[in-house]
Structure 1
Amino acid sequence: MEATFPFMAGFRSGLPYLGGQTIDTPRSISGIQGVVPSMSARWIMECQFVFHGEAATLQWNAFIGQMGGRQATTLVPVHQRYMPKTRDGRPLSSENVAGLAGAQTWEGFGFENTRVTRIQTAAAAPLRATLLNLELLDTTGLRPGHFFSIGDRLHKVLTHVQPTLDTHRITFQPPLRKAVAAGAHVEIETPVCRMRFSSDDEGRYEGAFDELAPMPRIRFEEAI
């Protein structure tokens, strides 16, 4: 089951990080402890949101109900303070949905902007790959530390080199969750990650009548 992420909720804070990258091992009698890499790393995101008014409040309440505790998944947008730039050097925007100013819609829908492919894969990559060759169409490229997504899977750039004039090669984490074909869309404006609640109680708030702007917190974990 998939829930629609509440686009009216304002994002306040939260940056995804990888959990479970290593496995705990016993410490020896000499005090030495080894570090064992794990193949089960997953994204974790602890976020805080704020919402105002009737439409946004109802949309948030509906979203919490749709999630059904930890049963459903949703595409959580990842907000970056320092965005990639267009080929003209202008920062991109992470806002991908426009609302209806001053209006109420019973379904709480918005209008999604037309998707623009600014980067696409230049070659196919297999499952568990950590290296991609990219073709830049309308951007100056990705820098180490930037997030991007392919489909509903999130990745973070570790390195970026240019072995030839037209080849942009990045390494990233975590490894690809599925094989990627050449020419695949690489989302850099509004990266997303398929996630679920970490517990059944996420997103609750008191709902006090004198509270003008509730600011609930949610802890998400990647749904793999």
Structure 2
Amino acid sequence: MNILDWPSELPLFDVVDLWLSGSTSSSGVGLDGREQILWRENRVWRGALSLPALRGSQPMRLRALAAQLRGRFGRFRIPICNRFTPRLQTTEADFLAKIGISATDIANGYSPWSDGTLFTDGTGWALPTSAEPVIAFAAPSGARIIHMENYIGRHIEVGAYFSINDFLYRVVENVDGAVSFDPPLREAVIAGSTVNVSAPMFVCRLVSDDGMRVPEHHVRITPSVGIEVVEAFDR
């Protein structure tokens, strides 16, 4: 079954509670009161999502999506809000202004040296761009560090999300584009692959077959709808 995209007619989620769910094991507490806990990398993304109140034909559209999913069988792609990290939201000029580039430099298309001087051709340093990061070096499945090129990649904030081929990751450290993250890479990536920071995407499926129920209200507004999802690996 194809991966279904979140319908454009529906609002985005107003609450996105995502966590990495795994399991540890233990043989129990010993005679000395100590406990040895064993851990292995078996974490998957789980999420509790909440939609704002639905209006007009939106409840019908969500019911249609639920029917297309056929319970837990289907997969769907949702956008993840990535706040508080450099990303393209509207225009290139707006992006440059948000990262601290002056209106004069934006109008000129370059920045001068700190003392105001320019190069011999009358221009200055090139301005950053809002281009999405690209992978500098290939990395195998299971890797926990990738090297991102471009301004956004070098400045992505700790705790921010990014996605590669709709697999979702969260930054735990960034040293000038050497980005550590969780969970580890779900699949190998090649140099030049695009990293989606401005609008990360996440492919998931419902936690239960009845996980997308939309109540029928004979009024103009349907109350908020909650949806529980789990990461889908098949592509």
Query: If the TM-score is normalised by the length of the shorter chain, which range does it land in?
Result: 0.7 to 0.9
TM-fit CA distance, 1:62: 1.0
CA distance in 2, matches of 1:145, 1:137: 17
For the structure 1 residues 194 and 146, does the alpha-carbon distance in structure 2 shift closer, same or farther, using more than 3 Å as the test?
same
TM-aligned CA distance change 1:33 to 1:49, over 3 Å: same
Q: SS state of the match for residue 10, structure 1?
A: coil
User: Partner residue of 2:209?
Assistant: 200
Query: Which letter maps to 1:183?
Result: G
* Alignment check: 8 A CA contact 2:52 2:225 kept: yes
* Counterpart AA for 1:11: F
Q: 1:56 to 1:117 in 2, by over 3 A?
A: farther
Q: Which residue number in structure 2 is paired with residue 48 of structure 1?
A: 50
Task: Give the TM-score of the pair, scaled to structure 2.
Answer: 0.75
Look up the match of 1:179: 188
Q: How many residues align?
A: 194
Contact 2:87-2:197 within 8 A present in 1 as well: no
Contact 1:132-1:171 at 8 Å conserved across structures: yes
Q: Deviations over 1:158-185 (max 9, x none)?
A: 00113xxxxx201001110111000110
The alignment partner of 2:223 has SS state of coil
For the pair 1:145 / 2:159, whether they are aligned, the reply is: yes
Please give the alpha-carbon distance, in whole angstroms, between the structure 2 residues aligned to 1:28 and 1:135. 48
**1:173-208 Cα deviation digits (max 9, x unpaired):** 111011100011000111112110000111213211
Match of 1:14 in 2: 16
Flag the 1:70–1:52 CA change in 2: closer, same or farther, 3 A.
Answer: same
Would you say 1:5 and 2:6 are equivalent positions? Answer: yes
Is residue 61 from structure 1 mapped to residue 75 from structure 2 by the alignment? no
What is the percent sequence identity of the aligned residues? 25
CA distance in structure 2 between the aligned counterparts of 1:180 and 1:78, rounded to whole angstroms? 21
Conserved 8 A contact 1:85-1:141 = no
Query: Partner residue of 1:90?
Result: 98
Any unmatched runs of 5+ in structure 2? 89-94, 100-129
Q: What 5-or-longer segments of structure 1 have no aligned partner?
A: 92-115, 163-167
Taking a change above 3 Å as real, the CA distance of residues 36 and 29 of structure 1, as seen in their structure-2 partners, is closer
Partners of 1:40 and 1:216 in 2: CA distance = 29
Per-residue displacement from partner, 1:7-46 (whole Å, max 9, x unpaired)? 32331101311001x4221213333222222221100010
Corresponding residue for 1:126? 140
Q: What root-mean-square deviation, in Å, do the aligned CA atoms of Structure 1 and Structure 2 show?
A: 2.1
Instruction: Give the corresponding residue for 1:39.
Output: 41
Q: Name the larger-Rg structure.
A: 2
Are residues 160 and 137 of structure 1, via their aligned partners in 2, closer, same or farther at CA, if it must alter by over 3 Å?
closer
TM-score (normalizing by structure 1): 0.78
- Which deviations, in whole Å up to 9, do the C-alpha atoms of 1:46-72 show, x marking residues without a partner? 000125333422221111111111001
Q: Which residue of 1 aligns with 2:232?
A: 223
Q: Matches of 1:78 and 1:201 in 2, distance apart?
A: 23
**TM superposition shift of 1:89:** 5.0
CA distance in structure 2 between the partners assigned to 1:145 and 1:213 by the alignment: 33
Query: Does 1:161 find its partner at 2:175?
Result: yes
- Distance in 2 (CA, whole Å) between partners of 1:84 and 1:25 is 42
